[in-house]
Structure 1
Amino acid sequence: MLHTNLNEILVFMAVVDAGSFIAGGQAMGLTRSAAGKAVSRLEDRLGARLLNRTTRTLSLTDEGRVFYDRGLQILAAVDDAEASVAGPVGTPRGLLRLTVPDAFGRLVLLPLLKKYLEAWPDVQIEVSFTDRLADIVEEGFDLAVRIGSVNSDKQLVSRVVARYKAILCAAPSYIAEHGEPLTVDALVGHDCLFFSSRTRRQSWRFRDDGGSWVKALGRSRLRLDSGEAIRDAAVAGLGIAFLPDFLVAEDVAAGRLQQVLPALEAGDVEIVTIYPSKRLLEPRVRRFIDLMVEELGS
């Protein structure tokens, strides 16, 4: 009975993924009729309708959506069980869930995701593009990519996979109106575009002539929780931004932004991967980290 129940769940998942009984049945080696009967038996046993059926479309009911999400967890648990036996050298498969910074994810990681999917056809990927610091354990992510964030959770593992130069920059229109700061101390008289969210707030640090790190003070009239929004605000002439060069290099080259205090030593911005501490890291996670190091590490 357990085997039959699991097969019916797998058929239901395949039908939802494919969007039809015909394609879902084919994915499971079944006819349309057999796939429909399997889903009906599952609904009868659960005492709940999982799918709304019309002659042309299928859609999940509220109960079906909850059951589908739990099914994803079951499949992920099966993948984890296989990975724990196969070890880290196994073939990547299953669902890889990522949370990545919005602009970095779209500008830098999307090309890597294409390479990864082409290399490992048995992997599916879900990505949350957000500058919010997600709780990766609570929210069920396999891996978080963060910009310059220090991991203080002993249950999580951190690895630096890339470094980028960070620069101060502002629009020519801002410099023309407010003047160009010539020292770090002069920033106190300028509008500085700081990153700020409910959980964290950015501060700017630079190395002085004596080699010590000093915190830069500046007016903070506009704070934003998105790196790309900060870039857009800087281009619009709303203040001075401190951003990694992958985000502003094209704007500087095009003259939409100009570097401020170019001789200032700001250090590198680290790109960090963070994942739950496990004895054996799933192949799908390990191979994605390796790809990031290979492609971005230089």
Structure 2
Amino acid sequence: MYSSERLKGIDVFVTVADLGSFTAAAERLNLTGSAVSKSIARLEARLGTRLFNRTTRRLALSEAGVTFYRTCTCVLADLEEVEHALLVTGDQPHGKVRIELPASYGRLHVLPLILDFISLHPLLQPHVSFSDRFVDPVYEGIDIVVRIGGPDTWPAALGHQYFGAQRLVFCAAPAYLAEHGVPQHERDLEHHHCVGYGHTDGQVSPWLFKGRQPGEMEQRTLQPRIAVGDGEGEVAAVLAGHGIGQLPTWLTQRHLDRGDLVEVLPGLATDGLPMNLVWLKSREALPKVRALLDYLLARLAPHGARPGPSA
């Protein structure tokens, strides 16, 4: 059960933080300055921390105040949005929704789906960001995340749906193979130029190979001719003839279909990292989140976006 005490003073706190003044907040809220000051004092006493740093010249949020402000503004925005949706648009997707996508897969396969969705639902206001870093949806307040890789067990606060694993293939440009020959065995890779995924710390992601036992995977790090810290950049290097790369089919399939790339050693193709759609359970009932989740779940696939029924 949520105590009603937790809601008291939130609107006053946010207004003071927005305006940077007790006096201005009192005028905005049609309250006395004393009432505003007492409201903030009661809130700080209940939380056991100072929310504002006060001087004779300025009023600024403390570190704890910044954290509390971020949560309060989200709560108030959600309440306002739901009220507006109930009054104006019923259960139609409406308002802002935060989405975090992996850089290359997101740009190539998820963003086009989101753009199609908002064409059908023009009241939706998605805020889409791209990153290959680990994100914590709970801490960062992100509604929906597409994640490549992830934990074996998920926190209770998150919903998630597995939609497949990356399919990794070895491929090269025809010009490279014409000059250097086509590898016939995995040991031949040691004598070829390789294109790898490079990290900012100077490390290179290992290639994955099938292990001796069913379902077992082995990781091997080969010395690359070139390491690129971006999936699309890796593909560009392979297309330019700089070597063989192990790449997911969602990046390479269109190039393979056109003949710009050639798969080599097809017997070494293997599944890679799992791919999941992740969301905040606390927000999944909001029409804007539920509708977009359903739309994406019907279309996301490890090889790229697939057609789905109209929303």
TM-score between the two structures when normalised by the length of structure 2: 0.61
Residues 7-33 of structure 1, C-alpha deviations (whole Å, 9 max, x = no match) = x99xx9xxxxxxxxxxxxxxxxxxxxx
Residues 164-188 of structure 1, C-alpha deviations (whole Å, 9 max, x = no match) = 5332111223323433322233333
Aligned to 2:4: none
Q: Is the partner of 1:278 in helix, strand or coil? A: helix
Aligned to 2:227: 223
Matched, 1:124 2:103: no
Q: Contact conserved, 1:103 with 1:228, CA < 8 A, in 2? A: yes
Unaligned runs of 5+ in 1: 13-40, 46-62, 64-69
For the residues of structure 2 that align with 1:181 and 1:112, how far apart are their CA atoms? 38
For the residues of structure 2 that align with 1:151 and 1:80, how far apart are their CA atoms? 31
For the residues of structure 2 that align with 1:259 and 1:137, how far apart are their CA atoms? 40
Q: Contact conserved, 1:131 with 1:225, CA < 8 A, in 2? A: no
Report the residue type matching 1:147 in the other structure: I
Aligned to 2:207: 204
Residues 107-144 of structure 1, C-alpha deviations (whole Å, 9 max, x = no match) = 21232112321333332011112333334344332222
Aligned to 1:166: 168
- Computed over aligned residues only, the root mean square deviation of the Cα atoms, in angstroms, reads 4.6
2:286 to 278, 282, 290: 282
Report the residue type matching 1:295 in the other structure: R
For the residues of structure 2 that align with 1:108 and 1:122, how far apart are their CA atoms? 22
Q: Contact conserved, 1:161 with 1:273, CA < 8 A, in 2? A: yes
Q: Is the partner of 1:263 in helix, strand or coil? A: helix
Aligned to 1:246: 250
The change in CA–CA distance for 1:124 and 1:279 in structure 2 (over 3 A counts) is closer
Q: Is the partner of 1:271 in helix, strand or coil? A: strand
Aligned to 1:142: 143
Matched, 1:99 2:95: no
Report the residue type matching 1:230 in the other structure: E
For the residues of structure 2 that align with 1:135 and 1:295, how far apart are their CA atoms? 24
Identity of counterpart residues, as a percentage?
Answer: 29
The change in CA–CA distance for 1:153 and 1:214 in structure 2 (over 3 A counts) is closer
Q: Contact conserved, 2:110 with 2:300, CA < 8 A, in 1? A: no
The change in CA–CA distance for 1:279 and 1:249 in structure 2 (over 3 A counts) is closer
Q: Is the partner of 2:208 in helix, strand or coil? A: strand
For the residues of structure 1 that align with 2:137 and 2:71, how far apart are their CA atoms? 15
Q: Contact conserved, 1:195 with 1:230, CA < 8 A, in 2? A: yes
1:294 to 298, 301, 304: 298
For the residues of structure 1 that align with 2:12 and 2:155, how far apart are their CA atoms? 39
Q: Contact conserved, 2:225 with 2:243, CA < 8 A, in 1? A: no
Matched, 1:258 2:262: yes
Alpha-carbon offset, residue 214 of structure 1: 3.8
Matched, 1:188 2:190: yes
For the residues of structure 2 that align with 1:203 and 1:124, how far apart are their CA atoms? 39
The change in CA–CA distance for 1:210 and 1:163 in structure 2 (over 3 A counts) is closer
Q: Is the partner of 1:295 in helix, strand or coil? A: coil
Q: Contact conserved, 1:162 with 1:293, CA < 8 A, in 2? A: no
Residues 168-212 of structure 1, C-alpha deviations (whole Å, 9 max, x = no match) = 111223323433322233333334333343589633323357535
For the residues of structure 1 that align with 2:290 and 2:205, how far apart are their CA atoms? 30
Aligned to 2:57: none
Aligned to 1:80: 78
For the residues of structure 1 that align with 2:164 and 2:298, how far apart are their CA atoms? 9
TM-score between the two structures when normalised by the length of structure 1: 0.64
Residue pairs, 1:3-152, within 5 angstroms: 76-81=74-79, 90-150=91-151
The change in CA–CA distance for 1:242 and 1:109 in structure 2 (over 3 A counts) is same
The change in CA–CA distance for 1:281 and 1:186 in structure 2 (over 3 A counts) is farther
For the residues of structure 1 that align with 2:285 and 2:206, how far apart are their CA atoms? 34
Alpha-carbon offset, residue 260 of structure 1: 1.4
